[in-house]
Structure 1
Amino acid sequence: MVNPVDVLDIARWQFGITTVYHFLMVPLTIGLAILVAGMQTAWYRTGNRRYLKMTKFWGKLMLVNFAMGVVTGIVQEFQFGMAWSEYSRFVGDVFGSMLAMEGIVAFFVESTFLGLWIFGWDRLSKGVHLACAWAFSLATVASAYFILAANSWMQHPVGIEMVDGKPQLTSVWALFTNSTVLAAFPHTLFGCFAVAGAFLVGIAAWKIARHHRKSAVDNEDRKLWHTSMRLGAWVGLVAFAGLAISGDFQAKLMFSQQPMKMASAEALCHTEQPAGFSIFAYGDVGRPDCESVKSFTVPYLLSYLANGDFTSEVKGVQELVPEYQEKYGTHYPNDPRLGELAGKPIDYTPNLPVTYWGFRFMIGFGAVAAVAAAAVLWFTRRGRFPKGRWVGPAALASIATPFLANVFGWIFTEMGRQPFVVVPNPNPSGVDGVWMFTAQAVSSGVSAGEMLTSAIALTTVYGALAVVEIFLMSRFARGGVEAVMPPESSKDDDESSGDGKSEDVLSFAY
């Protein structure tokens, strides 16, 4: 007999691995697309060839990342039907509408205008071509909003009524204006800009350092990399400020909507008034009673983060568990599809080490990225650039910090809502009585062997794609501006050669 627990664990690992990998592409694509559109706007308005070079170089790297994002994103939708069919049956009326809008509206606009942008150099007017750049870049933002609206409904169900035990959508406007998505969207968008900013800083600083070592610095190219580097640093610094503000608002909302998640994020096992914010903890954080945990805290800060009041009460895990048991039951339903879990006690406590350290790694790596951006602005003021063999490697390593902050943020968000895949509402801001346990969501007709085979296969394929992504990014980054720009020529040489088309019309088509 198949053990449903094994199937569930493997399905969660499979979805976690593929989703985290896919999300590495998403923030870079969104942030870089908008920055590239901004670079092209600067070229359109000023005619400065430096901005054209920046547009083409960073645009090429953006396209590589976009292609990988499309390939890895398609798999996500198949998993809903194959590994999580019970979940799809439950939320299909709500979740399906968001995915349909993301695919038909956002992705259609995105891919159409991206194609026009790629092949439209020297074929479209400069104004129309620029409009295409903004159309596809803003479409990526719209795509993110649709996906976040779907995810936010899982975190906080709204706009539905229960019919025959399943949610049916009654107001799409409620989905779009869900308080959870209104908080998550700006936070995610600032995260995208943090990633794109660090990407610009890392590669541009590496290019300058590499030129220094070779003693072959082209002054114009050096200005280009210097401009890119400082642009990325400013974007990263502003993004971190936005993350701090939006994150504070999101945390207050989460304390209201998902108190167990936030108590777990602090390893707050017992109610405190006032409550201090834990900076670092040691001991067995995995024990629900936290008796062995010692924590360095900032007094009163958690109370403020939770309620905007330095003296307010914050409930701990031990006090929240009975409340959850009273509202949502003490045992799983006697559903034969749950196998060994049927009728067993429900553990309402998320994985404390994952939520606690995930929350801190998210904040920590974000802070490191902000400090790096501030340091870049300081050391590169007035055209300066630090010397030393460490500069290039350090710049490249800094690219990883906002990526890691994003990844740990999503791990915390998704792991912290366990054991629910659709989280119930403890307050009157959503629709009461709507939830689904993760154990109920996995496909009942899939064996552990089949799930394990698909998990191994997808992980292997994604590993190969990671090698391809890194290879292409490295190759095009090393190629620099020369690899994406046609040779500069006289005005006569740029005129059409009899067929009405410029000779370098496909110079940007890859």
Structure 2
Amino acid sequence: MDALDIARWQFGVTTVYHFLFVPITIGMSLLVAILQTIWVRTGNPAYRRATKFWGKLFLINFAMGVVTGIVQEFQFGMNWSSYSRFVGDVFGAPLAMEALLAFFLESTFLGLWIFGWDRLPKGVHLACIWAVAIGTALSAYFILAANAFMQWPVGFKQANGRAELTDFGAVLTNKVVLSAFPHTIVACWLSGGAIFMAVSAWHLGRKRDLEVFRPSMRIGAVAVLVGMAGALLTGDQLAKTMTQTQPMKMAAAEALYETAQPAPFSLFTIGTLDGTQPIYSLDIPGLLSFLATGSFDGKVQGINNLQAEYQQRFGPGDYRPYIPIAYWGFRLMIGFGLLTALVALVLIWATRRGRLPEKPLFWRVAVWSVVLPVLAHSFGWIFTEMARQPWIVFSQMKTAQGVSPSVSAGTVLLSLIVFTLLYGALAVVELGLMIKYGKAAPPPDEAPEEGGAMAFAY
């Protein structure tokens, strides 16, 4: 492999690894805020214990997300200097706002929340965790706004071989980010809810602290169901936006080789090994047309037709992504999300009216279901990025043009090995801490001191 291939592997490994923590952080921040709100409104000490228990797991995940995210910016400069030079003027604004506004909001109020227990008034302390939840969502918006420029570049002009920012408002209101942001946020509720379900299931299977983990599990299950319903609705809008901005990505997601009107949605397709031709397909007539255009009789462009169109528009070349990854990544994203929702639905039904199933297998399945939304997010992110290929910035710069010209394959390979080993070690630490504190009992109830003096810890 050359430097380009290794650099793509490295960015893929580090990005997918980092993205394991992002949806859990966003989802858990909201659920912890909801738990604390219930405690403040009801005064039920079980919810105070639950808030502290889940808050500890949230903090572990938050810290790991911050550590792994730093590597992303390092790679831009080392492996993708040509790309960084091209988009730097555009990317600088949303990324700066993410760091100076969103992350500052998160970290400041998270510190106040950690050290403000029994020192701040209840209402002020509650406002801190809600500020953290809002900060995580804002952070996601600014990052997605930068990524949306790669999907559908707007608000710029090309000058001196660079994309120069001309309209920051256009970047922040890119039609792609307006569709992708709500889809991403509601999908994060699946990951946060699944953590609540899995850890609670481990305790409920042993009949421990039922007053804490029974409501926690049901809150997590509801979050999963609401998140999945929201993901389906917002995903419909995102698919229509994708059809407008990147029709090749939509065609690749369905392995639709020839333009069709109406276009079927394939539940299952077998193609040639190079992904250029279908062999067998099980279809639902007209469904793809509805997803792409809002009409069961809508016209959807095919891969072969778009390839010919792009050759005329952009010059000779292969503008098709690797179809099997696009096709199966799209389906695995949806499939694992639906399986998570199915587990949540079963948990709600099985634990209704105070019931607790006796079979250990039931609780084991609930515990292991925690991996389902993680897989759904990972495949969704892989689909989003790989189905855009060969573009690193759609219609403006190909991925092969973005790699650093002076960095050798050996250098990139060395950093890939180092990062992989480092991330493997961090995975052991993360899992160890999450398992250790996830199995621990919630903290005992303590009578809070209302409005005590503020203290700072160093």
- Fold shared, TM-score > 0.5 on shorter chain: yes
In 1: Cα distance, 2:102 partner to 2:220 partner:
26
Tell me whether 1:28 sits opposite 2:24 in the alignment: yes
Which of 313, 320, 328 is the aligned partner of 1:327?
Answer: 313
Report Cα offsets for 1:319-368 as digits up to 9, x if no partner: 111100111111xxxxxxxxxxxxxxx22110111001000100100111
Q: 1:194 aligns with which of 174, 190, 195?
A: 190
Match of 2:263 among 256, 261, 275: 275
Deviation at 1:495, TM superposition (A): 10
Question: How do residues 87-486 of structure 1 correspond to structure 2 at under 5 angstroms?
Answer: 87-211=83-207, 217=208, 221-284=209-272, 286-288=274-276, 290-291=277-278, 293-330=279-316, 346-424=317-395, 435-482=396-443, 485=444
Quote how far apart the aligned CAs of 1:126 are.
1.4
- CA-to-partner distance for each residue in 1:278-309, whole Å, 9 max, x for gaps? 10112425332x15x20101111111111111
Partners in 2 of 1:162 and 1:284 — Cα distance? 39
Who is 1:429 aligned against? none
CA distance in 2, matches of 1:474, 1:391: 19
Give the drift of 1:164: 2.2
Matched residue of 1:260: which SS?
helix
Contact 2:267 2:282 in 1 (8 A): yes
> Structure 2-normalised TM-score?
0.96
Q: Give the C-alpha shift of residue 480 in structure 1.
A: 2.1
SS in 2 for 1:77: helix
**Mapped partners of 2:238, 2:100: distance in 1:** 29
Please say if residues 187 and 246 of structure 1, whose CA atoms lie closer than 8 Å, have aligned partners that are also in contact: yes
DSSP-derived class of the 2:153 partner: coil
SS in 2 for 1:295: strand
Q: Which amino acid aligns with 1:300?
A: G
SS in 1 for 2:281: strand
**In 1, are the aligned partners of 2:121 and 2:450 still within 8 Å (CA)?**
no
In structure 1, stretches of 5+ residues that fail to align are: 212-216, 331-345, 425-434
Shift in Å, 1:265: 1.0
Offset, 1:197: 0.9
Residue 501 of structure 1 deviates from its aligned partner by: 7.4
2:70 partner SS: helix
**Which TM-score applies when normalising by structure 1?**
0.87
Q: Which amino acid aligns with 2:263?
A: A
8 Å contact from structure 2 (residues 33, 133) kept in 1: yes
Deviations 1:245-287 (A, max 9, x none): 0001100111111111111111111222211101011242533
Shift of 1:407: 0.7
Following superposition, the deviation at residue 95 of structure 1 comes to: 0.7
- Structure 2 counterpart of 1:369, one-letter code: T
Task: State the distance in 2 between where 1:264 and 1:501 align.
Answer: 60
Contact 1:26 1:69 in 2 (8 A): yes
Runs of 4+ in 1 over 3 A off after TM superposition: none
Number of aligned positions between the proteins? 458
Is the counterpart of residue 8 in structure 1 residue 17 in structure 2? no
The answer to whether the Cα contact below 8 Å between 1:206 and 1:391 also exists between their aligned partners in 2 is no
Cα deviation 1:86-137 (Å, max 9, x = unaligned) = 1000000001111111111111111111111111112212121111111112
Whether the 8 Å contact between 1:282 and 1:295 is mirrored in structure 2 is yes
Task: Give, in whole Å, the separation in 1 of the partners of 2:172 and 2:61.
Answer: 28
CA distance in 2, matches of 1:495, 1:414: 49
Does the CA-based 8 Å contact 1:204-1:228 persist in structure 2? yes
- The code of the aligned residue for 1:405 comes to A
SS of structure 2 residue aligned to 1:279: strand
Structure 1 pair 30–222 and aligned structure 2 pair: CA distance change class (3 A): same
3-state secondary structure, aligned to 2:157: strand
Offset at residue 165 of structure 1 (A): 3.0
The equivalent residue for 1:339 is: none
CA–CA separation in structure 1 for the residues paired with 2:225 and 2:273: 33
Q: Contact (CA 8 Å) 1:267, 1:285: kept in 2 or not?
A: no
Give yes or no for contact 1:285–1:352 (8 Å, CA) kept in 2.
Answer: no
Question: Aligned ranges for residues 19-98 of structure 1 at < 5 Å?
Answer: 19-98=15-94
The structure with the larger Rg is: 1
CA–CA distance in structure 2, aligned partners of residues 127 and 266 of structure 1: 50
Secondary structure, aligned partner of 1:28: helix
Gaps of 5+ in 2: none
Q: 1:170 to 1:478 in 2, by over 3 A?
A: same
Q: Secondary structure at the match of 1:210?
A: coil
